[in-house]
A and B are shown apart, each in its own frame.
Chain A
Amino acid sequence: MNTSPQPLGSSTGLGPVDLVISPELVKIEPGVLSRLHAGLAERASREGVLDVAYRVVETPVGKLLLAATERGLVRVAYEREGHEAVLAVLAERLSPRILEAPSRLAEAARQVEEYFSGRRRAFDLPIDLSLSAGFRRTVLQHLSEIAYGHTESYAEVARAVGNPRAVRAVGTACATNPLPVVVPCHRVLRTDGSLGGYIGGLDAKSSLLRLEAVAA
């Protein structure tokens, strides 16, 4: 052990600090904090004080953030949206009681993985639409009715929700979909068949459409 007597002898030097911050008092063995973190998430969940649980999953369109409240999946976010920024918005709009808690999202992660491997055509998950209200919410509810491998135009969606002139608002509803992939806004195209926009980027949108075209 390296308790060199040199600074200890001096009564004016910085002896106190390097003595008290002895390496043995500071070092934390690898794995300890992640074990404690997992235990915390587990217990917080059990005691009902974890309002938003999240995990990040690897997919062919990049890392997806999956976040859930006790009611259900509340947010799916592409990497390009900035996961940190998305979590900050969730803290503000839902609750700051947020922890990475992979086990709370085990089922969602499994279904997302099945979807990307072409083995799942519809998601069967509790969904929490509390980040979306009014007309946008109505649009999202309709989107879930567009079948796997099919597409609709923004104008068709507007007609389907009973507001044929709200084509632009349908576009906004799709662009602000808090649950991309799971609520399939990627199945909405321009009337001329071109892609339109997508929260995950146009590459991601065409990847999903290609996946569904092949697997359908």
Chain B
Amino acid sequence: MDMKQPFEKLVVLYGATVLRVCRAVVGPAEAEDVWQETFVAALRAYPELPADANIEAWLVTIAHRKSLDTVRAVRRRAVPVSELPERPSDHGLPEADGEVDPIWLRVARLPDKQRQVLAYRYLADLPFNDIAAIVGGSPAAARRAASDGIKSLRATAVAAAEGESA
């Protein structure tokens, strides 16, 4: 029997996780728009979702697509280029805004794929199999991207800590 729960439950259960993922992937400034786009799209498609689907992975997949749209739009606004190079995003962070915690800047400087994989692994708690299906490539590649991202975040954290104590 198809026992699909009311969509309200999904928002209550996964709203916070999706917001954390959006913040990590597109940055705090654009995150709420992406959250909104994600849940509207999910609500629209919800009746067709198979009853046994992994809802969290499904929502993160939608959030991932909406993030790509947003990141493309932000970059289009920033620099008029025709190709999208794989490079650290500007993350939609207002420059020289003292309010932004340094962790966001460090996350923002990660290459796109590492940032996405870290968000989906550690903020949404998805297995690498699901993550590979979302970002493309193999689970092993996703695992590598996560470990590279961790290494790089760790290095900048150490540098920051040393800078503070110096």
Contact = CB atoms under 8 A, between A and B. Distances in A.
A197 to B, nearest CB: 28
Contacts of A99: 7-8, 11, 43
A1 B103 CA distance: 10
Given A33-B15, A49-B40, A5 B158 contact: yes
B135 interface: no
A5 B165 CA distance: 11
By size class, the interface of chain A is 35 or more
Interface string A7-21: 011000001110111
B52 to A, nearest CB: 14
A69 B43 CA distance: 15
Q: For the complex of A and B, list the 9 residue pairs with the smallest distance between their C-beta atoms, beginning with the closest.
A: A98-B6, A16-B150, A96-B4, A20-B122, A24-B101, A91-B6, A24-B103, A87-B6, A49-B44
B3 interface: yes
B5 interface: yes
A47 B7 CA distance: 16
Contact of B158 (A8, A40, A47, A98): A8
24 contacts: A1-B164, A8-B158, A16-B147, A19-B154, A21-B123, A25-B20, A26-B123, A32-B19, A33-B19, A37-B11, A39-B36, A40-B40, A43-B36, A47-B40, A47-B44, A49-B40, A49-B43, A88-B6, A91-B4, A91-B7, A96-B7, A97-B7, A98-B6, A99-B8
Contacts of B161: 3, 5, 8
A87 B20 contact: no
Given A20-B122, A37-B11, A96 B47 contact: yes
Interface of A: 1, 3, 5, 8-9, 15-17, 19-22, 24-26, 28, 32-33, 36-37, 39-40, 43-44, 47, 49-50, 52, 54, 87-88, 90-92, 95-100
Most buried by A among B40, B104, B146: B40
A24 B158 CA distance: 17
State which size class the interface on B falls in.
Answer: 35 or more
Contacts of B160: 3
B15 A25 contact: no
Nearest to A47: B40
B23 interface: yes
A97 B39 CA distance: 11
Contact of B32 (A15, A20, A36, A87): A36
B36 A40 contact: yes
A52 B8 CA distance: 10
B46 A96 contact: yes
A98 B7 contact: yes
Nearest to B101: A24
Contacts of A49: 40, 43-44
Contacts of B47: 95-97
A133 to B, nearest CB: 21
B122 A37 contact: no
A8 B157 contact: yes
B166 to A, nearest CB: 13
A63 to B, nearest CB: 16
